[in-house]
Homo-oligomer: A and B are copies of this chain.
Amino acid sequence: MVIVMEKHTAEGNIERVMSELIARGYDVHRSTGSEQTVLGVVGDVAKLDTREFELYDGVQEVVRISEPYKLVGRTFKREKTIVRAHGVEIGGTEVIIMAGPCTIENEQQVFETARRVARAGARVLRGGAYKPRTSPYAFQGMGVEGLKLLRAAADENHMATVSEVMEISQIEGMLPYVDILQVGARNMQNFNLLTALGQARTPVLLKRGMSATIQEWLLAAEYIMNGGNYDVILCERGIRTFETYTRNTLDISAIPVIDKLSHLPIIADPSHAVGRRDKVMPLARAIVAAGADGVLIEVHNDPEKAVCDGPQSLDPDQFARLMDELRIIVPAVGRRL
């Protein structure tokens, strides 16, 4: 931590700050310039609230210089983490495509969609059984019955499964069916849920909150890892901006940024970011070209009949076409599909 004193501040102000820091057990390095003094603070400053020192007389600015997270950072672990789920490796050289319907509706829908996406090359089957809905008047999901269908359809097609968990009490009931537990954007800072998932021994796919900074997102992953669960996959899904034409603004640069800051796999979800089918394919191509470890994408065997988010779901033919395009792109990023 660095404390910048105001220009020409009184010596007494500088000393007051220094003695307070020393009293708390920190080492202080003082740099006295002709106009301004800067204090370097060494020790475990993670618990300090920088704003506290900003209120001292004579202090111009306090700058935290160390990253507030540990386990998720490249400093903690240089080499990329590979998360293994039901035989699928996320974070390796293969770009992993996770596809399936927004919501599990019935047997025929799940099985037909699963067959089609598996044939095109998807490795993980997605499908929601518990749905976070903005309005209390919307369909809230099939629950465990849905998860059983998801598992059976995935098994038939040699796929892993991913499904969203909304509440601590749902975790245990999901484990027999779900290989990757998804935390939705609205729950990214549901700290009780994150802590509980830290106790689980199942991979977690952590979506970025729609107004979360990259640092907050990494700190949310830190909650899970801090509990002992190191299998975390990060998923960019669009952030909220002033632009209203698209549902959210996919932050494509988060992909290379996360890759630099963290060893965790980073994937992205174009369907929720853009909210419109005709924009999903260009975004999915961009995600792979930017170097992501995977894509999470909504596919429905009959989108016009979908209970939820039909307008942003691809149909199986569009999905197969997209996979062909992605196969052209992957060599440009040194990957395979």
Using CB atoms and an 8 Å cutoff, list the residues of chain A in contact with chain B: 2, 4, 6-7, 27, 29, 31, 33-34, 36, 38, 40, 42, 46-47, 49, 51-52, 54-55, 60-61, 63, 65-66, 68-69, 75, 132-138, 166-169, 186-187, 189-192, 195, 209-211, 213-216, 219, 222-223, 226, 239-246, 249-257, 260, 273-279, 282-283, 285-291, 304, 308-312, 325-326, 328-329, 331-333
Bound complex: CA A99 to CA B186 (Å): 28
Which residues of chain B are within 8 angstroms of A278 by Cβ–Cβ distance? 55, 256, 260
Say yes or no: A51-B289 contact (C-beta < 8 A), given A29-B31, A189-B132, A191-B133: no
Q: Is B289 in contact with A282, judged by CB distance below 8 angstroms?
A: yes
Interface SS majority for chain A: mixed
Q: Are A249 and B251 in contact (CB under 8 A)?
A: yes
Contacts of A249 in B (CB 8 A): 239, 241, 249, 251, 253
Say whether A246 contacts B257, CB under 8 Å.
yes
Q: How far is the CA of A277 from the CA of B222 in the complex (A)?
A: 28
Q: How far is the CB of A303 from chain B (nearest CB, A)?
A: 8
- Bound: A132/B168 CA distance, A: 16
List the number of copies, as a whole number. Answer: 4
Is A256 a contact of B242 with CB atoms below 8 Å? no
Identify 5 residue pairs between A and B in the complex whose beta-carbon atoms are under 8 Å apart, listed by A's number.
A2-B65, A34-B42, A60-B65, A137-B226, A240-B242
Nearest-neighbour CB distance to chain B for A334, whole angstroms, equals 9
Give the contacting residue for A27; candidates B33, B52, B189, B210; CB below 8 A: B33
Residue on B with the closest CB to A241? Answer: B241
Q: Are B286 and A52 in contact (CB under 8 A)?
A: no
Q: Is the beta-carbon distance between B273 and A253 smaller than 8 angstroms?
A: yes
Kindly state the separation between the CA atoms of A246 and B216 in the bound complex, as whole angstroms. 15
Least CB separation from A308: chain B residue? B49
Give A71 Cβ to nearest chain B Cβ, in Å. Answer: 10
CA A40 – CA B41 in complex, angstroms?
Answer: 12
Are B38 and A29 closer than 8 Å at their CB atoms?
A: yes
With contact pairs A38-B29, A240-B211, A329-B329 given, residues A190 and B191 touching in the complex (Cβ less than 8 Å): no
Which of A189, A215, A255 has the most C-beta atoms of chain B within 10 angstroms of its own C-beta?
A189
Q: Tell me whether B52 and A310 are in contact (CB under 8 A).
A: yes
Contact between chains at A191 and B166 (CB < 8 Å): yes
Question: Is the beta-carbon distance between B253 and A253 smaller than 8 angstroms?
Answer: no
- CB < 8 Å: which of B7, B68, B195 contacts A75? B7
Q: Which residue of the partner chain, among B134, B244, B252, B328, contacts A332 with CB atoms under 8 Å?
A: B328
